[in-house]
A and B are shown apart, each in its own frame.
Chain A
Amino acid sequence: MSETNAKSVCAPRFLTVATTPVKHAKDMKLSKVVPPMKYTRRAFVLYGMGAAACWSARRLAAQGVATHRAKPLARPAPSGRPFNAQFADVAADAGLQDPVIYGGVESKKYILEATGCGCAFLDFDNDGWMDIFLLSGTRLEGSPPGTTNRLYKNNRDGTFSDVTGKAGLHREGWACGVCIGDYNNDGFDDIFCTYFGQNVLYRNNGDGTFTDVTKSAGLLNDQPRWGAGCSFLDYNRDGHLDLFVSNYVRFSFEHAPVPGENINCNWKGIPVECGPRGLPMGRHSLYRNNSDGTFTDVSHQAGIAKSETYGMTVVGADFDEDGWPDIYVASDSTPSLLFMNNHDGTFREEGVVRGVALSDDGMEQAGMGVGVGDYDLDGHLDLFKTHFADDANGLYRNDGKGYFDDMTRSSRVGVETRYVCWGAGITDLDNDGYPDLFMVTGNVYPEVERKLPHYANKTPRAVFRNLGNRTFEELVEVAGPGVAAPHCSRGCAFGDFDNDGDVDILIVNLNEPPSLLRNDVSEKGNWIKVRLEGVKSNRTAIGARILVHYGAGTQAQAVVSQSSFYSCNDPRLHFGLGASTAVDIDVYWPSGLHEVFKRISANQLVTLREGVGRVKNRGWSKA
Chain B
Amino acid sequence: MRTKFIGAILLCVSPAFAQQQKENPLDAIRAALANRDFDHAVELTRAALRMSPNNARLWTFQGLAFAGEGDNSNALVSFKYALKIDPDNVGALAGAAQSAYATNKSAEAVPLLNRLLRLRPDEPTAHAMLAVLEYRLGNCGAATAHFEKAGEVLRSQFDGLNAFGMCLVKLKKLDQAESVFGQALRLRPEDRRERHLLASLEIMTRKPQNALATLKPLVDDADPSADTLQLASAAYEDLGDTPKAVETLRQALLRDPLNVSLYLDFANISFSHESFQVGIDVINEGLRLQPKSADLYLARGVLYVQLAQYDKAEADFEKAQELDPAQSLGAAAEGLAAVEENDLDHALATVQAKLKQNPNDPMLLYLQARVLTEKGADSGTPEFQLAFESAERAIKLRPTLAAAREVLAKLDMETGQYKEAADQCRKALASDPQDQTALYRLIQALRKMGDKEEIPALLKRLASLREEATKEEREKYRYRLIEEGEPAKP
Give chain A's interface residues, CB within 8 Å of chain B.
1-2, 5-15, 17-19, 21-25, 27-28, 30-31, 33-34, 36-38, 40-41, 43-45, 47-49, 51-63, 70-74, 258-264, 266, 268-269, 271, 278, 335, 352-353, 355, 358, 360-364, 403, 409-410, 412, 414-415, 417, 452
Contact = CB atoms under 8 A, between A and B. Distances in A.
B459 A362 contact: no
A60 B274 CA distance: 11
B401 A17 contact: no
Contacts of A12: 204, 434
B452 to A, nearest CB: 9
A52 B435 contact: no
Contact of A22 (B170, B264, B469): B170
13 contacts: A2-B327, A7-B435, A8-B432, A30-B197, A34-B200, A36-B200, A45-B329, A52-B306, A61-B473, A258-B489, A335-B466, A353-B455, A355-B447
Interface string B333-361: 10011011010100000000000000001
B410 to A, nearest CB: 8
Contacts of A44: 264-265, 267-268, 271, 299, 302
A353 B140 CA distance: 38
Nearest to B304: A52
B340 A54 contact: yes
Interface of B: 135-138, 140, 162-163, 166-167, 169-170, 172, 174, 193-194, 196-197, 200, 203-204, 227, 230-231, 234, 259-262, 264-265, 267-268, 271, 273-274, 276-277, 295, 298-299, 302-303, 305-308, 313, 327-329, 332-333, 336-337, 339-340, 342, 344, 361-363, 366, 370, 374-376, 378, 398, 400-404, 406, 410, 414, 428, 431-432, 434-441, 443-444, 447, 455, 459, 462-463, 466, 469-470, 473-474, 476-478, 480, 489-490
A17 B432 contact: no
A332 to B, nearest CB: 14
A410 B378 contact: yes
B403 A59 contact: no
A273 B462 CA distance: 30
A41 to B, nearest CB: 4
A37 B226 CA distance: 10
Contact of B194 (A9, A30, A47, A74): A30
Nearest to A25: B136
A327 to B, nearest CB: 19
A362 B437 contact: yes
B302 A52 contact: yes
B260 A41 contact: yes
Contacts of B140: 22
B458 to A, nearest CB: 9
Contact of A45 (B200, B299, B342): B299
B376 A73 contact: yes
A523 B368 CA distance: 45
B135 A25 contact: yes
B374 A71 contact: yes
Given A45-B299, A49-B302, A71-B344, A38 B437 contact: no
Contacts of B361: 2
Most B CB atoms within 10 A — which of A41, A352, A403?
A: A41
B-side interface mostly? helix
A52 B302 CA distance: 7
Contact of B306 (A258, A259, A269): A269
A62 B327 CA distance: 29
Nearest to A9: B403
Contacts of B439: 362
Contacts of B162: 28, 30
Contacts of B434: 10-12
A11 B432 contact: yes
Given A55-B370, A57-B406, A363 B437 contact: yes
Contacts of A259: 490
Most B CB atoms within 10 A — which of A44, A59, A335, A409?
A: A44
Given A36-B200, A48-B306, 14 more contacts: A2-B328, A18-B170, A22-B138, A33-B169, A34-B169, A40-B265, A45-B333, A49-B329, A52-B302, A53-B339, A53-B340, A57-B435, A59-B469, A361-B440
Nearest to B339: A53
Contact of B403 (A14, A48, A55, A74): A55
A403 B452 CA distance: 13
Nearest to A24: B138
Nearest to A71: B374
Contact of B204 (A9, A17, A51): A17
B358 to A, nearest CB: 9
Contacts of B459: 352-353
Contact of A263 (B135, B273, B363): B273
A58 B440 CA distance: 13
Most A CB atoms within 10 A — which of B273, B404, B437, B438?
A: B437
Nearest to B383: A74
A53 B194 CA distance: 37
Contacts of B193: 30-31
A2 B366 CA distance: 11
Nearest to B262: A37
B169 A17 contact: yes
A449 to B, nearest CB: 13
Nearest to B438: A57
Contacts of B234: 13-14, 36, 40
A12 B432 CA distance: 10
